[in-house]
Amino acid sequence: MRKRSKLIVCAIGGIAGLIAIVTIALLLIVDVNAYRPQLETAAARALGHEVRITGALGFDLFPGLQLTLEDVQIGASGAEIATAREVRLGLALLPLLRKHVRVETLVIQQPSILVIRGGDGSFNFDRDEDHSSPVTEAQHSALELSEVAVAEGTLNYLDEQSGEGFVARDCSLKIAPLRIARGDSTGLIRALSFSAGLACREIQGKDLAVADVKVSATGQQGVIDLQPVTFKVFGGQGSGSIHADFASMVPHYSARYALPQFQVAEFFKSVSPQKIAEGRMDFSANLSMQGKTFSELRQTLAGQVSLRGVNLTIHGHDLDDELSRFTSSQNFNLVDVGAFFFAGPFGMLITKAYNFARLAQGPGGSSTIRRLVSEWDIAQGIARAQDVAMATDKNRVALQGELDLINEQFNHLTVALLTPEGCVKVRQTVRGSFQHPVVESPSTIKVLSGPFLKLYNMGRALFPGGECDVFYAGSILPSTD
């Protein structure tokens, strides 16, 4: 029995030694560069795109048999969509001895990827129908990798229709496993199956930068789930999820995100260098949309957005003092105060033209906002104010109306200074486009001369209970001071 065991051990050792000798021999006698065209063709068939290897090729034996490709380029219709400084392919040894290449692992160093979404909703990595492409097969080959790793990657994304985009820098990715089913390369997303972890040092957009991004992702049969999605922005740590369904003809998307206790001062730094406000607020969103183009996505946008804060400080204005004199001076802009209501939920869209710096150019002083709530309901691209108001020590200001996110315009958005009963003391309306808003002159329930207003307030105190049209009856209660 012992002799039999020794024979088995010796046999296994001999086979392993033989494989090692054959492998070393292959490394010594095989000119890998001679197989460059075959490698490019095989990669092109697997990816459904043109592939060029412009750098050196080589074999490594440790930590396993690996094929190293330097300066790899992937293109579509003659345009470059991805490059990598180095690609290492982990090869299965036994199939290689039968002259069959089977890739088991993939490691990519310093890739740079460009993703462009055209005006028709198509991506630059979609299969091109140009028959001059070297990839002539209607089907891409199946691919299965036990592990994919990416280090020091960069991703550039651009939506040509909206002009929006972002750059993700210093990204690492690990996928285990990755499968691409054989099929039409125009349906590459639907052919993917994976489980992945992604981390990026920074993602920089046109008006916003987030840091320390971490994502766990799964994908199967055209459905991709990103959960959780975490990143740091405006001095806060947020988390959420994204669900994208590409299985049907029209892609569907849904997203949830919560950013508790972010710093208001950090947010306003993105729209003005001046110190406007400080404090902490809570933001949350639950949104869904569908479509192939940016326009279709905006037209189907639906969900809820919320912004809440307690004990915020506004610099440059003593709001209670200015509001108390507003009824006689008429030189205060209520819309400027109302801007705080949509600064959080829709700030990056609204503030393209709105000059928040005006809020910091007041006569001086500061104000405390005891409570602020900004709750919006969105349907078919129209955001409607549900509960939008704030309270200082002595006053309440509320907002009603709509934001047309499709056409980027205000739909008779009204900001009102309230009586204790929630009726209008003074109101002001903003209309027109986000780029060129038109603020109407304030209107009041009475002719606002100082003496007349005093008589009106005295009469209301002597004869309480009079009827009025309530403008606001939400969660922000009047001051009890």
Apex 209 CA angle, 286 and 346, nearest 5: 40
Residues 217 and 241 in one domain: no
3-state secondary structure of 113: strand
CA-to-CA distance for 302 and 287, rounded, in angstroms?
6
Are residue 297 and residue 406 in the same domain, yes or no?
yes
Burial pattern 34-55, b for ≥16 Cβ within 10 A else e, equals eeeeebbeebbbbbbbbbbbee
Virtual CA dihedral for 302, 304, 278, 359, nearest 10 degrees? 50
Whether residue 121 is contained in a domain is answered as yes
What is the rounded distance in angstroms from the CA atom of residue 83 to the CA atom of residue 101?
Answer: 23
Judgement on whether residues 305 and 185 belong to the same structural domain of the protein: no
Is there a single domain that holds both residue 287 and residue 423? yes
In a domain, 3, yes or no: no
Q: Which of 233, 249, 275 delimits the end of a domain?
A: 233
Give the SS3 label for residue 168: strand
Cα separation, 398 vs 418, whole angstroms:
7
Residue 19 lies in a domain: no
> Does one domain contain both 226 and 241?
no
State the pLDDT at residue 448. 41
> How would DSSP label each residue in 173-215?
EEEEEEEE-SEEGGGHHHHEEEEEEEEEEEEEESS-EEEEEEE
Q: Does residue 147 form part of some domain?
A: yes
pLDDT, residue 360, reads: 56
CA 283 to chain centre: 15
pLDDT at 30: 53
Residue 106 phi, psi (nearest 5):
-140, 125
**Does residue 290 share a domain with residue 339?**
yes
CA distance 34 to 51: 16
Question: Domain for residue 4, yes or no?
Answer: no
Helix (H) or strand (E) holding 72: strand 66-76
Q: Residue 291: CB partners within 8 Å, gap ≥ 6?
A: 121, 250, 251, 297, 299, 300
Is the same domain home to 168 and 215? yes
Q: Tokens 């993917």 label which residue?
A: 192
What total of structural domains would you count in the chain?
A: 2
Q: Given CA atoms 423, 428, 430, 431 in this order, what sign does their dihedral have?
A: positive
Q: Which amino acid is at 383?
A: A
Amino acid letter, 366? S
69 lies in the same domain as 188: yes
Question: Mean pLDDT of residues grouped by 10 in the chain (481 residues)?
Answer: 52 48 48 73 77 85 79 83 90 71 86 87 65 44 81 92 88 89 64 91 88 94 93 94 92 95 87 82 95 88 95 85 68 73 69 56 77 94 94 92 91 90 89 84 53 49 61 87 51
Instruction: Write out the two tokens for 75.
Output: 């293109």
Residue 153 in contact with residue 174, Cβ under 8 Å?
Answer: no
Give domain status of residue 12, yes or no: no
Q: What is the C-alpha end-to-end distance of the chain, expressed in Å? A: 95
- Domain check: are 54 and 187 in the same one? yes
Cβ atoms 267, 234 nearer than 8 A: yes
CA dihedral for 447, 451, 452, 453, sign (positive or negative): positive
- Do 247 and 190 fall within a single domain? no
Task: Supply 57's token pair.
Answer: 């090729």
pLDDT at 440: 82
| Residue 451 CB coordination number (10 Å) | 8
Q: Phi-psi region for residue 221, left (φ > 0), alpha (ψ -120 to 50) or beta?
A: left
Domain co-membership, 220 together with 243: no
Residue 416 maps to a domain:
yes
Q: Are strands 192-205 and 424-433 parallel, antiparallel or unpaired?
A: unpaired
Alpha-carbon torsion (309, 313, 315, 317), positive or negative:
positive
**Locate tokens 């200082």: which residue?**
392
Q: Which of 342, 330, 443, 481 minimizes the C-alpha distance to 398?
A: 342
CA dist list (Å): 332 to 75, 326, 408, 449, 479: 58, 6, 26, 15, 22
Residue with tokens 């440790």: 62
Q: Are strands 382-391 and 443-444 parallel, antiparallel or unpaired?
A: unpaired
Q: Which of 199, 233, 267 is where one domain is finished?
A: 233
**Domain of 316, in residue numbers:** 236-476
Structural domain contains residue 6: no
Amino acid letter at 87? Answer: V
Going by C-beta distance under 8 Å and a sequence separation of 6 or more, which residues neighbour residue 307? 281, 282, 283, 341, 343, 344, 345, 372, 373, 374, 375
Same domain flag for 150 and 63: yes
CA distance 181 to 291: 25
Which of 166, 201, 233 terminates a domain? The answer is 233
Length, in residues, of the chain: 481
Structure tokens at 82: 């991805």
Which tokens in the block code for residue 180?
Answer: 């691409």
